[in-house]
Structure 1
Amino acid sequence: MEIIHLTYPIKKNIFPQKIVLALGFFDGVHRGHQEIIKAAKKKAQAKHLPLVVMTFDRHPKEIYQNKNVTYIDTLSEKAYKMQKLNVDYLLVMHFNNAFCQLTPQEFVDEIIVKLRTDTVVAGFDYTYGPKNIANMKNFPEFAQGRFAIVDVPKQSYDGEKIGSTEIKKAISAGEMELAAKLLGFPYLMSGYIGHGLRNGHKLGYPTANLIWKPKKVVPKVGVYATKTKIRGKWYDSMTSVGYNVTINDGQKLYIESNLFGFDQEAYDEEMLIKWYKYTRGEIKFDSLKKLKEQMSRDESEIKNYFANHK
């Protein structure tokens, strides 16, 4: 898969042939998004055309509403998931003031048509401007017969729409099993291993301290059953999200993983965490001895969880 970064106005002839274009922001690349991409891939294969997915480098709300937006995926995480879905090209449009001022007709004429689009595939609620005008119902009017349009219906779980907002709420609440059901896979955080306070080493539970990108959704404070990848290998692990209140002053939030069967130094190396289950909240203990005893119980509980969830 090739990643192409675009800034408006875009050039002509980015692609040498017609394309099938999937539209959306695709934060999380959740089950609803997967249906859109699968429908687009099926259409691309039938027409012998490349599948192109277009996303943005930031959520439109950051420009339109000046909101501080949190994200399920970093761009690299989103790209990884797109590649797994056999996308040929990922277009990342720079969402700036010039781009957001495009009218719905200009978006169609100057983006979709310029990309040599044969077929557009998008979700039922996709918008490309004011939602009462620039919606899927009115898309054919703006398209003027220049490309086909495939409207993918709503995807639901337990009677509710599968959406990025619902997934972010689940993650923030520590409902990792619900988040995984909506995503179609466990929530993923990536980053690198930073230098922590080495408190885990002192207690006999060495941890890898995740340094993650800003604006990522962070699970609520507590201890979790996780899998952590270091040096190309996944390890069952227990991961703490918290302020180390027993030992520290509780000012900085840490994400620390104790990997079962791994005790090497790996500072500054890449690290990925898959989140499976919330097991308990953060507790301030009276002594390090009591903290260590609790960590032993945590380890047993999480090992038992993975033994029963292969």
Structure 2
Amino acid sequence: MQIIHLTYPLKENLIPGPIVLVLGFFDGVHRGHQQLIKIAQEQAKQKGHPLVVMTFNGHPKEVYQKAEVTYIDSLNEKAYKMRKLGVDYLLVMHFNDRFSKLTAQEFVDQIVVKLQADTVVAGFDYTYGPRAVANMKNFPHFAKGRFDIIEVPQQSYDGQKIGSTEIKDAIKAGEMALATELLGTPYAMTGIVGHGLRNGHKLGYPTANLVWTEHKVVPKVGVYATKTKLKGKWYDSMTSVGYNVTIQEGRQIFIESNLFGFDEEAYDQEMVIKWYKYTRGEIKFANLAELRAQMAKDEAEIKAYFAHRH
């Protein structure tokens, strides 16, 4: 898969020949997005065109509303998922002030048509400007018969819409099983191992401290059954999200993972955490002995959880 960063105005012939173009922001590349890409892939195979997905480098809300947005995926995580789904080109449009001022007709003429789209696939709620005008209902009017349009209806799980907002809400509530169902895979956070206070080592439970991408959605404070990848290998693990209230007072959130069967130094190494189950909230213990006893219980419970899963 080739990743191409775009800025408006577009250059001619970025991709040779006609394409099947999938439009969306794709935060999470969840099961709804996967359905879009699957439909587009069928079209691409049938027509012999490359499968192209266009996303943005940041959420439009950051420009339109000057809002701070949290994300399910970093751009690298999104690209990794797209590659696995068989996308040929991932276009990353830089959503700047100039691009944000395009009218609906200009977006179609100067982006979609210029990219030589033969077929465009998008979700029922895709917008390309003000929602009242630049919606899927009006898309054929702006297209003027120059390309085919496939509108994919809302995807649901157990009566609930599969959407990025719903997934973020589940993660923030510690509902990791629901997040997994909506995403189609466990929620993952990627980063590097940072230098902590080594409190875990003193307690007999050495932890790797995750330094993660800013603006990633962070799970609810507490302890989780997780799988953690370090030095190219996955380990069952228990991970705490919290403020280290027993040891220190502070407002900084720490994500610390104790990997079962791993006890090496790994500072500055890449680390990935997959989140499976919330097991308990953060507790302020009277002393370190109480904390150590609770960690032994956590370890036993999480090992039993993974043994049952395996």
Shorter-chain TM-score bucket reads over 0.9
Deviation at 1:251, TM superposition (A): 2.6
Distance (whole Å) between structure 1 residues aligned to residue 46 and residue 204 of structure 2: 57
What SS does the corresponding residue of 2:245 show, helix, strand or coil? coil
Q: How far apart are residue 130 of structure 1 and its match? A: 1.2
1:132: how far off?
A: 1.5
What displacement does 1:160 show? 2.0
Q: Which residue of 2 aligns with 1:278?
A: 278
Structure 1 segments of 4+ aligned residues over 2 angstroms from their partners: none
* Matching residue's letter, 2:306: F
Identify which range, 83-92 or 248-257, moves more after superposition. Answer: 248-257
Aligned to 1:58: 58
Name 1:24's counterpart in structure 2: 24
Matches within 5 A, 1:1-310: 1-310=1-310
1:250 shift after superposition: 2.7
- The DSSP-based 3-state class of the residue aligned with 1:308 is helix
Distance (Å, rounded) in 2 between the aligned partners of 1:118 and 1:157: 31
Counterpart Cα distance in 2 of 1:200 and 1:16: 55
What is the identity, as a one-letter code, of the residue corresponding to 2:120?
Answer: V
129-138 vs 206-215, which moves further: 129-138
How far is 1:16 from its partner?
1.2
Give the TM-score, by structure 1 length: 0.99
For structure 1, which runs of at least 5 residues remain unmatched after alignment?
Answer: none
TM-score by length of 2: 0.99
Tell me the distance in 2 between the aligned counterparts of 1:91 and 1:8: 12
Distance 1:248 1:5 in 2: 44
In terms of mean alpha carbon deviation, does 56-65 or 153-162 score higher?
A: 153-162
Residue identity opposite 1:216 in structure 2:
K
Q: By how many angstroms is 1:174 displaced?
A: 0.6
Report the residue type matching 1:51 in the other structure: L
Distance 1:259 1:161 in 2: 34
* Matched position secondary structure for 2:309: coil
The Cα offsets for residues 6-53 of structure 1, whole Å up to 9 and x where unpaired, read as 000010110111110000000000010000011111110111111000
Cα separation, 2, equivalents of 1:131 and 1:161: 19
1:122 CA drift (Å):
0.4
Q: Report the Cα distance in structure 2 between the residues aligned to 1:204 and 1:237, rounded to whole angstroms.
A: 15
Task: Name the SS for the 2:115 alignment partner.
Answer: coil
CA distance in 2, matches of 1:147, 1:231: 47
> What amino acid is the match of 1:22?
V
Q: Give, as a single letter, the amino acid of the residue that structure 1 aligns with 2:294.
A: Q
> 2:43 aligns to what SS in structure 1?
helix
Secondary structure of residue in 2 paired with 1:278: strand
* Distance (whole Å) between structure 2 residues aligned to residue 146 and residue 231 of structure 1: 50
Which sits farther off after the overlay, 114-123 or 152-161?
152-161
Instruction: Please give the secondary structure, in 2, of the residue aligned with 1:133.
Output: coil
Work out the CA distance in 1 between the residues paired with 2:180 and 2:258. Answer: 22
Deviation readout 1:177-218 (Å, 9 max, x if unpaired): 110011111001000000000000000000000000110000
Distance in 2 (CA, whole Å) between partners of 1:220 and 1:252 is 14
Gaps of 5+ in 2: none
Q: Secondary structure at the match of 1:39?
A: helix
Mapped to 1, the partners of 2:234 and 2:2 lie a distance apart of 26
* Paired residue type of 1:267: Y
3-state SS in 2 of match to 1:167:
helix
CA distance in 1, matches of 2:16, 2:78: 25
Whole-angstrom distance in 2 between the partners of 1:161 and 1:259: 34
1:194-246 per-position Cα deviation (integer Å, ceiling 9, x unaligned): 00000000000000000001100000100000000011111000000001111
Q: Which amino acid letter does the alignment assign opposite residue 132 of structure 2?
A: N
C-alpha separation in 1, matches of 2:263 and 2:46: 50
